[in-house]
C-alpha cells in the first residue's frame, strides 16, 4: 500500500458510520451460543483416524541421576505402539529455547531429573488406560542427589547445582538504576523498608493443556493441533527444537478453556511429536490431567523474595523506590517465567511520579517446577509491595492512605508521561479514579464503622490501592532477560463474499475473552451491518496473516487495529471500483453508513455489498487494471515502540489502564479467618470496546486475585516433594469466596491506540491481591502487627496472631 | 488419571451384594456415591478387583421420621435428606450438618451411608452420629446387627464393619425438649473438609443448669472425638462465660496430637478446637434457652 495510507482511527468519530451500534455497547458474545450449548470443539473432542494416546512417566525425585531405564515389559503390553525416553529426545530434537538462554533441557529427562513431575518416559498406546497401565511396567533407576528448594540456599556456596555446566544457580542478575536513587534515599525525611514474601501460585484454566501431534516422514512435516495460546510462537519453537523449516510446521490452535498465560505445553507437544515419529506417523494425543498440570504443567509462577524501600520527604512525597527481588524460577527457564521479572519495568513506579528507582534483580534455579507466565505477568506481586509500602509510609507520616496516594499521583496534565524505568504511559486521570472509588464505598463512613467495630473488639480492615495495568505488550520489555524484538504483529483479513456477507480471518483461537466479538463489532460498525452478518474464522499458522494472539492485555486493542486497517484497505478497493461505476475519480467517492457513493450526491450511491458483487461477478463493469478481490489484510503493530537501552528503558506497552480498588475485610483474630465484606472498583481502561467483556475480565481478575491473596499456593517440602498435587490441597477460590464487586467505569481514552481502547485483559489481578493484603494489614494495625506474606493463609495469620498474644 | 481394570457389579438386593463381597474375599469395594472412591480409583490408590455399585438397591433409599428418630437408608443421597421438610423441621441439627457437607453437587451424588462407612475424621456425618448417639444397622452373611456410633468409628477411614458387611441404615435420635445445639467448623473454603469442627448439644434442667452436654470434635483426630472431660465440667452447672472457657480449654487440651497437613498445624487445629467449642457451646446455650 502507498505511504499515503490513512492512519488507524483513534476514535469512533473517525469511522465511516454516523450511527455505530456495537462498539462501546455491551454486546452479546458471538462465542457464547456454542459454548453454552456444549458444541464448541475442544482438543479432547477431536478424534483422528489411527490416533494413539500418550501417558507420561514422571520423576518422583526433585533431583536425581537416571542410572537405568527398562521399558521392555511395557513394550510387550498389548496396545502399546511406541515408547520414547531421553535417548529418543537426544537423537531427534534439541533442548527447548529458554529465556534467559542456556537453562533448558530436552522434553524428556536425559541423565538426570531436576524436579518432581519432570517427564522421563512416554508411551503411546491405543487408549489412555492402556498407556497408563504400561507406565506401571516401566522401571527407572535413580540415584538421588541433594535437592535445593529454597532460593536463598540456591545462591549459597556449595549448593547443589541444577546445571553443573553453568557453574552456579544464578540464571540472571542485573542492577537497574534509574535516576539518582542514592541521593533520594540520602535526602529522605522518611525511609520505609520491609521484606515481603510472595509464594508460588499460578494459572488454573478450566481446561488443562491438550495436543495431537502428527509427524509426516514423507513430507518431513509436523502438524500439531492443540490448545495453544499463541500458536505461531509455539510453531517457531518447534521448528527450532526439531530442526524443521518453519513452513513445514503447521500449528492448528483449537478453542480452549482458558489459558491465563501458559497454555501451550511445549514438553507435551514435543513428546507427542517424538511418539508420532516413532510410531510411524500415527497421530498421538495427550491430554494433560489436573495432577500433571499441577506438578508438571504451566501452573506455577512468581516465587519471590522482596526487600523494598520507599524514600519520602516530610510531606509524604516519594523521592525514590528501591526493590531487591530474588525470583525463584524453578528447575529451568523453559516456561517464559523470567519475563515476569522483567515486566514490572513497564509500570515500576505504579501511578506515582517517583523520579528515581532501582531494581536489583536476581533469578535463581531451584529443584521445583519451572515457572510459567500468569495473568499480569509479574506486576501483581510488585504492585503489592509498592502499595503496601505506600500504606506503611502513610502510617508513619500520619497520613490517610488516600491522601498519600493523591500527593504522589502523576497529574493528568503530565501525559504522555515517561516513568523512571523508561516506559511511557499514554493517558490517565488517577485522582478521578480514586475519587470515584472513595465515593462509591463512602470511604468516610467505612472508617467510622471501622472505629465503631474496633471498640467492640472486631477487626475490620480497609484496603485502598491504585494500580496501573500495562496494556498491549511488546517484546522490548523482555529484551533484558534475553527475549529480543520490538513490536508484536497482529493480522486480520477482511473479505466480502458474493452474497454480501463479511468474514474476518485471524490467527488466534477462542480462549474465552471474547475477541472474536470485538473484531465483529468493529467490522459491523465500519460497514454498518448487523453483527450477525460478520463471521470470524481462526486460521492455522500457515494460513493466517502474521499474528501472535492473546497475551499481555493486547489482543482486544491489536485485533481492533488489524480489522480497522483491513477494513480501511478494503474500503479503498471498493471506492476504486465504485469510482469507475459512477464515472468519477476515487477522491470523489466515499463509504458512509454502509453505502458507497459520490460525495455530496445522495442519489449516486449503492450498498457496499453491490460493489463487492460487481468485483466478483461483473468483470465487464470493472475499470481496467483493478484488483477484483473484495478482500484486504492488515497487520497491526503498536506505533512508536523503541528498543530497550542498557538499563531496560523502552517505550514498551502501548497503554496504561488505571484502577482503584477499595475493599473491606474482617479478620477473626481468634480463628485467623479473613472474610471479604465488600468490594468496589473504579476502573479506567479508556474506550470500552465491549463493556460486557471488560466487566467479565475485571470480575475474573478479582477471582484470581482473591485466590492469590488468601488461598492458592504450590507448596514444596524441603526435599522438593510437591504437597499440593490435587485440588484438595491447591485451593482455588469458589463462588463462595469471591465477592461480586461494585464497579464504576471511567474513560480517559488512549491517544495512541485504535479507538482509544486500552488493554484490560489481565484486569483486576493487578490490584486485588494488594488490596486484600493492605486491608488485612489495616485490620491488624491496632494490634501492632504487620503481615507480609502471600497468600495470607489462616495458618500464617494464626502464627502471627498467636505470637502477638504471647508477647502481650 | 485412569483406573486400572476392575470388574463392575450392580446387585439388585442387599443379599446379592453381600454374596459378591464374600465371593471376592476383601478384593471388592462398595460404590455408594463415589465422591471419595472414584478419585482414589483414578489415581490408582484404590485397586479393587470388583466395584460393587449399590445404586440399584432401591431398598436402601429411604428416609423415615417417626418415634423420635430420623432413620435413613444407607444409599439415600445426602441432598435428599437435606431437602426433606420433616428433617428440616424436626431435626434441625442434622439438617444444618448436612448443609456443611461439600457442595450441592457432591451431596446430590454422595450418600449418607457412603460418608459414614468411609469414616473420614474431618467429615460432618460421623461427628453428628457420635454426638447424637446414632445407631447403625449392618447386614452380613450371618444376618444383621446393630452397632452404636460410639463403637463404629475405629480409626482413620476404618469402621467396625467387616469386609463382608454392608451398612444398610442409620438412626439419628431427635433432640429432647429444652435442648440446644450447634455445629460450627472452620474450613479453608466453603465446603472443604473442616480444619476443625464441633457438634455441641446441651440440655437444660428446670433449674437452668446444664443437665446433659455432648461435645464432639471432628477434623482433629483419627475419628470423631468426644470431649468427655469437658462435658463433665459442664454438667450440673449453670453456664457462664468462665465455665464455657474452661470447658473449651479442657476439650482442646484433651485432644491427642491433631493432624498436621499443608493447611493447618496440630497446634492451630487444637487452638481452633478451643475457639469453636466455646462458640458452639454459647450458640447451643442460646438455642436451649429459646427451646
A29-40 per-position pLDDT tens digit: 999 999 999 999
Question: In sequence order, what DSSP letters do the residues of chain B get, joined into one string?
Answer: --PPP-EEE--SSHHHHHHHHHHHTT-EEEESS-TTHHHHHHTTS---SEEEEGGG-GGG--EEEETTEEEEETTSBHHHHHH-HHHHHH-HHHHHHHHTSS-HHHHHH-BHHHHHHHT-TT-HHHHHHHHTT-EEEEEETTEEEEEEHHHHEEETTEES--TT-EEEEEEEEPP-TTEEEEEEEEESSTTSPEEEEEEEEEEE-TTSSEEEEEEEEESSSSS-EE-HHHHHHHTTS---HHHHHHHHHHHHHH-------SS--HHHHHHHHHHHHHHHHHHHHHHHHH-
CATH architecture for segment(s) A43-145+209-287: Alpha-Beta Complex (3.90)
pLDDT digits (tens, 9 = 90+) for A198-221: 999 999 999 999 999 999 999 999
Please work out, in degrees rounded to the nearest 5, the angle formed at the alpha carbon of residue B242 by the alpha carbons of B241 and B247.
100
> Is cis: bond before A613, omega within 30 of 0?
no
- Reported as a pLDDT band with limits 50, 70 and 90, residue A264 is confident
Q: How confident is residue A482, by pLDDT bands cut at 50, 70 and 90?
A: confident
B275: nearest CB among A670, A715, A724: A670
User: Are B283 and B186 members of one domain?
Assistant: yes
Looking only at the bridges linking them, the beta strands covering B69-73 and B166-173 are: antiparallel
In a domain, B85, yes or no: yes
Can you tell me which residue has the cell 467396625? Answer: B160
Q: Which of B56, B76, B97 is the last residue of a domain?
A: B56
Distance (Å, whole) CA A681 – CA A434 = 9
Has residue B213 been placed in a domain?
A: yes
Q: Position of cell 456443611?
A: B100
Q: How far apart (Å, rounded) are the C-alpha atoms in residues A266 and A274? A: 12
Write out pLDDT tens, residues A456-471. 999 999 999 999 999 9
Number of CB atoms found within 10 A of residue B133's CB: 14
3-state secondary structure of A44: helix
Nearest CA to CA, how far is B1 from chain A (Å)?
A: 7
Domain membership of residue B192 as a residue range? 179-290
> How confident is the model over B70-79, as a mean pLDDT?
98
Domain ranges in chain A with CATH number 3.30.365.10: 12-40+489-636, 375-473+651-807
CA dist A508 → A121, A143, A286, A497, A634 (Å): 32, 44, 21, 22, 15
Query: Is the same domain home to B233 and B247?
Result: yes
Lowest-pLDDT range, A60-64, A96-100, A715-719, B5-9?
A96-100
Among A133, A733, A736, beta carbon nearest to B4: A133
Question: Any residues with CB less than 8 A from the CB of B65 and at least 6 apart, and which?
Answer: B71, B84, B86, B87, B90, B91
The secondary element (H helix, E strand) that includes residue A780 is: helix A768-780
Cell triple for A806: 504471647
- Cα of A401 to nearest chain B Cα, Å: 30
Residues 6+ apart with CB under 8 A from A529: A502, A594
Give the residue-averaged pLDDT of B66-91.
97
Which of B3, B191, B264 lies closest to A795 in CB terms? B264
> What is residue A338's predicted lDDT score, i.e. its pLDDT?
87
pLDDT at B267 over 60: yes
Mutate to test the interface with A, among B3, B6, B40, B188 (most CBs of A within 10 A): B188
One domain for residues B70 and B135: yes
Residue A96 has pLDDT above 50, yes or no: yes
Q: Is the Cβ pair A802, B195 closer than 8 Å?
A: no
Q: Do B188 and A133 touch (CB under 8 A)?
A: no
List the one residue out of A802, A750, A771, A799 whose CA is nearest residue A8.
A750
Provide the CATH number for the domain around residue B80.
3.30.465.10
Tally of structural domains, chain B: 3
Average pLDDT over residues A384-388: 98
Phi, psi at residue B21, to the nearest 5°?
-60, -40
- Determine the pLDDT at residue A763: 85
Which stretches of chain A sit within 8 Å of chain B by CB?
A: 128-129, 132-133, 136, 289-291, 670-673, 711, 715, 723-724, 726, 729, 731, 733-734, 736-737, 793-795, 798-799, 802
Q: Is B131 exposed, middle or buried (0-12, 13-18, 19+ CB in 10 A)?
A: buried
Q: Is residue B1 part of a domain?
A: no
d(CA A71, CA A733) in angstroms, rounded, equals 41
A375-473+651-807 adopts what CATH topology? Aldehyde Oxidoreductase; domain 4 (3.30.365)
User: Rounded distance, CA B284 to CA A391, Å?
Assistant: 42
Over residues A296-307, the mean pLDDT reads 97
Does the residue B247 lie in any domain? Answer: yes
Name every residue whose Cβ is closer than 8 Å to that of residue B18 and which is 6 or more positions away in sequence: B139, B140, B141, B164, B165, B166
Per-residue model confidence as pLDDT tens digits over A649-688: 999 999 999 999 999 999 999 999 999 999 999 999 999 9
Pick the CATH number of A12-40+489-636 from 3.30.365.10, 1.10.357.10, 3.40.190.150, 3.40.50.720: 3.30.365.10
User: How many CB contacts within 8 angstroms connect chain A with chain B?
Assistant: 61
Cell 508438571, residue?
A296
The reply to whether residue B262 touches residue A289, judged by beta carbons under 8 angstroms, is no
Burial of A262 (0-12, 13-18, 19+ CB in 10 A): buried
Tens digit of each residue's pLDDT (9 = 90 or more) over A763-792: 899 999 999 999 999 999 999 999 999 999
CATH 3.90.1170.50 in chain A, residue ranges:
43-145+209-287
| Burial class, A333, CB count within 10 angstroms (exposed 0-12 / middle 13-18 / buried 19+) | buried
The angle that helices B266-290 and A794-807 make with each other, rounded to 10 degrees, is: 90
Proportion of chain B above pLDDT 70, given as a percent: 100
How far apart CA A662 and CA A463 sit, in angstroms, is 6
Residue B234 lies in a domain: yes
- d(CA B153, CA A631) in angstroms, rounded, equals 74
Chain-chain contact of B271 with A737 (C-beta, under 8 angstroms): no
Q: What is the largest CA-CA distance in chain B?
A: 64
Does A673 contact B189 at a Cβ distance shorter than 8 Å? no
Mean pLDDT (chain A) is 96
Query: Scanning the structure block, which residue is given the C-alpha cell 511396567?
Result: A137
Q: How confident is the model at residue A1 (pLDDT cuts 50, 70, 90)?
A: very low
- Residues A717-730, mean pLDDT to the nearest whole number: 97
Same domain, B35 and B67: no
| The dihedral sign for the CA sequence A467, A470, A476, A480 | positive
Asked if residue B222 is part of any domain, the answer here is yes
pLDDT (0 to 100) of residue A807: 79
SS3 A85: strand
Q: Please answer whether residues B201 and B181 qualify as being in contact, where contact means their C-beta atoms are separated by less than 8 angstroms.
A: yes
* Spatial contact of A321 and A357, defined as CB atoms under 8 Å apart: yes
Instruction: Return the minimum-mean-pLDDT range out of A181-195, A330-344, B122-136, B216-230.
Output: A330-344
Question: How many Å apart are CA A254 and CA A783, to the nearest integer?
Answer: 53
Calpha distance A656→A347 (Å, rounded): 8
Query: Which residue, of B173, B196, B222, is where some domain finishes?
Result: B173
Report the alpha-carbon distance of residue A768 to residue A506 in Å, rounded.
Answer: 33
Q: What is the DSSP string of B100-124?
A: TSS-HHHHHH-BHHHHHHHT-TT-H
Establish if B2 belongs to a structural domain.
no
**Whole-angstrom Cα distance, residue A405 to residue A385?**
15
Kindly state whether residue B92 falls inside one of the protein's structural domains: yes
SS3 for A320-355, per residue? EEEEEEEEEEECCCCCCCCHHHHHHHHHCCCCECCC
Provide the CATH number for the domain around residue B31.
3.30.43.10
**Share above pLDDT 90 across residues of chain B, in percent, rounded to a whole number:** 98
Beta bridge partners of B166: B139
pLDDT at residue B209 tops 80: yes
> Which residues in A lie closer than 8 A to residue B3 (C-beta atoms)?
129
Q: What is the ipTM of this complex?
A: 0.96
Q: Which residue of A has its CA nearest to B1?
A: A289
Average of per-residue pLDDT across B61-83: 98
Both B47 and B120 in one domain: the answer is no
pLDDT band at A619 (very low <50, low <70, confident <90, very high): very high
| Residue A2 in this model has a pLDDT that exceeds 50 | no
In B, minimum Cα distance to A293 occurs at B1
List the CATH number of the domain containing B246: 3.30.390.50
Over residues A134-179, the pLDDT tens digits come to: 999 999 999 999 999 999 999 999 999 999 999 999 999 999 999 9
Q: What's the gap in Å between the CA of B188 and the closest CA on chain A?
A: 8
Distances (CA, A) of A638 to A415, A635, B80: 18, 10, 58
Strand pairing category for A742-746 and A170-178: unpaired
Predicted TM-score (pTM) of the model is 0.97
Amino acid at each position: 500500500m502507498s505511504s499515503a495510507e490513512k492512519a488507524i482511527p483513534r476514535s469512533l468519530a473517525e469511522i465511516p458510520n454516523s450511527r455505530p451500534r456495537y462498539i462501546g455497547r455491551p454486546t452479546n458474545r458471538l462465542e457464547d451460543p456454542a459454548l453454552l450449548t456444549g458444541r464448541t470443539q475442544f482438543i479432547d473432542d477431536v478424534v483422528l483416524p489411527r490416533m494413539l494416546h500418550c501417558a507420561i512417566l514422571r520423576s518422583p525425585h526433585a533431583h536425581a541421576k537416571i542410572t537405568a531405564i527398562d521399558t521392555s515389559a511395557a513394550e510387550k503390553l498389548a496396545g502399546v505402539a511406541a515408547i520414547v525416553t531421553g535417548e529418543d529426545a537426544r537423537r531427534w530434537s534439541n533442548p527447548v529455547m529458554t529465556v534467559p538462554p542456556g537453562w533448558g533441557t530436552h522434553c524428556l529427562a536425559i541423565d538426570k531429573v531436576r524436579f518432581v513431575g519432570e517427564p522421563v518416559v512416554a508411551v503411546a498406546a491405543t487408549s489412555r488406560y492402556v498407556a497408563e497401565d504400561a507406565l506401571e511396567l516401566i522401571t527407572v533407576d535413580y540415584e538421588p542427589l541433594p535437592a535445593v528448594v529454597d532460593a536463598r540456599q540456591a545462591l549459597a556456596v556449595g549448593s547443589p547445582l541444577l546445571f553443573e555446566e553453568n557453574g552456579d544457580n544464578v540464571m540472571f542478575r542485573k542492577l537497574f538504576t534509574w535516576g539518582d536513587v542514592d541521593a533520594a534515599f540520602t535526602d529522605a525525611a522518611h525511609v520505609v523498608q520491609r521484606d515481603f514474601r510472595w509464594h508460588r501460585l499460578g494459572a488454573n484454566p478450566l481446561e488443562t493443556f491438550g495436543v495431537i501431534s502428527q509427524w509426516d516422514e514423507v513430507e518431513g512435516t509436523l502438524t500439531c493441533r492443540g490448545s495453544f495460546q499463541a500458536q505461531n510462537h509455539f510453531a517457531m519453537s518447534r521448528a527450532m527444537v526439531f530442526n524443521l523449516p518453519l513452513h513445514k510446521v503447521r500449528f492448528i490452535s483449537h478453542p480452549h478453556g482458558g489459558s491465563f498465560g501458559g497454555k501451550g505445553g511445549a514438553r507435551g507437544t514435543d513428546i507427542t511429536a517424538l511418539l508420532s515419529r516413532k510410531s510411524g506417523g500415527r497421530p498421538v494425543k495427550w491430554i494433560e490431567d489436573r495432577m500433571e498440570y499441577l506438578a508438571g504443567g504451566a501452573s506455577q509462577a512468581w516465587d519471590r523474595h522482596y526487600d523494598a524501600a520507599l524514600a519520602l520527604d516530610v510531606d509524604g512525597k516519594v523521592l525514590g523506590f528501591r526493590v531487591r527481588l530474588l525470583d525463584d524460577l524453578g528447575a529451568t527457564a523453559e516456561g517464559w517465567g523470567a519475563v515476569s521479572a522483567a515486566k514490572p519495568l513497564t509500570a515500576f513506579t505504579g501511578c506515582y511520579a517517583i523520579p528515581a528507582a532501582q531494581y536489583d534483580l536476581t533469578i535463581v534455579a531451584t529443584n521445583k517446577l519451572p515457572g510459567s507466565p500468569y495473568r499480569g505477568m509479574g506486576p501483581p506481586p510488585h504492585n503489592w509491595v509498592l502499595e503496601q509500602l505506600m500504606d506503611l509510609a502513610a502510617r508513619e507520616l500520619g497520613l490517610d492512605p488516600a491522601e498519600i496516594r493523591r500527593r504522589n499521583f502523576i497529574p493528568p496534565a503530565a501525559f504522555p508521561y515517561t516513568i523512571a524505568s523508561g516506559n511511557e504511559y499514554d493517558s490517565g486521570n488517577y485522582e478521578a479514579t480514586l475519587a470515584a472509588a472513595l465515593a462509591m464505598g463512602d470511604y468516610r463512613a467505612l472508617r467510622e464503622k471501622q472505629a465503631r467495630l474496633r471498640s467492640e473488639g472486631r477487626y475490620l480492615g480497609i484496603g485502598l490501592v491504585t494500580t496501573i495495568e500495562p496494556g498491549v505488550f511488546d517484546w522490548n520489555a523482555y529484551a533484558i532477560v534475553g527475549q529480543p524484538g520490538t513490536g508484536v504483529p497482529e493480522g486480520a483479513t477482511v473479505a466480502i463474499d458474493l452474497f454480501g456477507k463479511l468474514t474476518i480471518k485471524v490467527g488466534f483461537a477462542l480462549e474465552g475473552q471474547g475477541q472474536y466479538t470485538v473484531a465483529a463489532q468493529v467490522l459491523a460498525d465500519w460497514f454498518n451491518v448487523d453483527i450477525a452478518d460478520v463471521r470470524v474464522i481462526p486460521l492455522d499458522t500457515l494460513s493466517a496473516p502474521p499474528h501472535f494472539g492473546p497475551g499481555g492485555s493486547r489482543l482486544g486493542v491489536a485485533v481492533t487495529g488489524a480489522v480497522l486497517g483491513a477494513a480501511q484497505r478494503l474500503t479503498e478497493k471498493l471506492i476504486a471500483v465504485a469510482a469507475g461505476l459512477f464515472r468519477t475519480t476515487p477522491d470523489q467517492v466515499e463509504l458512509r453508513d454502509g453505502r458507497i457513493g459520490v460525495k455530496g450526491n445522495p442519489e449516486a450511491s449503492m450498498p457496499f455489498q453491490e460493489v463487492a458483487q460487481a468485483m466478483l461477478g461483473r468483470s465487464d463493469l470493472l475499470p481496467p487494471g483493478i484488483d477484483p478481490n473484495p478482500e484486504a489484510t492488515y497487520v497491526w503493530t503498536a506505533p512508536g515502540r523503541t528498543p530497550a537501552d542498557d538499563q531496560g528503558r523502552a517505550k514498551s506497552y502501548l497503554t496504561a489502564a488505571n484502577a482503584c480498588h477499595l475493599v473491606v475485610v474482617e479478620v477473626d483474630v481468634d480463628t485467623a479467618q479473613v472474610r471479604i465484606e465488600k468490594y468496589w472498583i473504579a476502573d479506567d481502561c479508556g474506550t470500552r470496546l465491549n463493556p460486557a467483556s471488560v466487566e467479565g475480565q475485571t470480575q475474573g481478575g478479582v477471582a484470581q486475585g482473591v485466590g492469590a491473596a488468601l488461598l492458592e499456593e504450590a507448596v514444596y517440602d524441603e526435599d522438593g516433594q510437591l504437597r499440593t498435587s490435587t485440588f484438595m490441597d491447591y485451593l482455588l477460590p469458589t463462588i463462595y469466596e469471591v465477592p461480586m464487586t461494585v464497579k464504576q467505569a471511567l474513560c480517559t481514552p488512549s491517544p495512541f491506540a485504535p479507538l482509544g481502547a486500552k488493554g484490560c485483559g489481565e484486569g483486576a489481578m493487578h490490584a486485588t491481591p494488594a488490596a486484600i493484603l493492605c486491608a488485612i494489614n489495616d485490620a491488624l494495625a491496632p494490634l501492632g502487627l504487620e503481615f507480609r506474606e502471600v497468600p495470607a493463609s489462616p495458618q500464617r495469620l494464626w502464627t502471627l496472631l498467636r505470637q502477638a498474644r504471647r508477647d502481650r | 488419571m485412569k483406573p486400572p481394570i476392575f470388574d463392575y457389579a450392580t446387585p439388585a438386593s442387599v443379599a446379592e451384594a453381600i454374596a459378591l463381597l464374600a465371593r471376592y474375599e476383601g478384593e471388592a469395594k462398595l460404590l455408594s456415591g463415589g465422591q471419595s472412591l472414584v478419585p482414589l480409583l483414578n489415581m490408582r490408590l484404590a485397586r479393587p478387583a470388583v466395584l460393587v455399585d449399590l445404586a440399584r438397591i432401591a431398598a436402601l433409599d429411604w428416609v423415615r421420621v417417626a418415634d423420635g428418630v430420623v432413620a435413613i437408608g444407607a444409599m439415600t443421597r445426602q441432598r435428599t435428606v437435606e431437602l426433606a421438610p420433616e428433617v428440616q423441621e424436626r431435626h434441625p441439627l442434622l439438617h444444618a450438618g448436612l448443609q456443611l457437607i461439600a457442595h450441592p453437587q457432591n451431596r446430590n451424588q454422595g450418600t449418607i451411608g457412603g460418608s459414614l462407612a468411609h469414616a473420614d475424621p474431618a467429615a460432618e456425618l460421623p461427628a453428628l452420629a457420635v454426638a447424637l448417639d446414632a445407631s447403625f444397622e449392618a447386614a452380613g452373611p450371618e444376618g444383621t446387627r446393630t452397632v452404636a456410633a460410639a463403637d463404629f468409628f475405629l480409626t482413620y477411614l476404618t469402621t467396625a464393619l467387616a469386609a463382608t458387611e454392608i451398612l444398610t441404615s442409620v438412626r439419628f435420635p431427635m433432640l429432647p425438649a429444652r435442648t440446644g445445639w450447634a455445629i460450627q467448623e472452620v474450613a479453608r473454603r466453603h465446603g472443604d473438609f473442616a480444619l476443625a469442627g464441633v457438634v455441641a448439644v446441651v440440655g437444660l434442667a428446670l433449674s437452668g443448669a446444664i443437665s446433659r452436654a455432648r461435645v464432639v470434635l471432628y477434623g482433629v483426630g483419627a475419628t470423631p472425638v468426644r470431649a468427655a472431660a469437658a462435658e463433665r465440667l459442664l454438667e450440673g452447672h449453670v453456664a457462664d462465660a468462665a465455665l464455657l472457657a474452661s470447658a473449651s480449654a479442657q476439650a482442646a487440651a484433651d485432644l491427642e496430637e491433631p493432624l498436621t497437613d499443608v493447611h493447618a498445624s496440630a497446634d492451630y487445629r487444637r487452638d481452633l478446637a478451643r475457639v469453636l467449642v466455646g462458640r458452639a457451646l454459647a450458640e447451643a446455650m442460646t438455642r436451649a434457652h429459646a427451646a
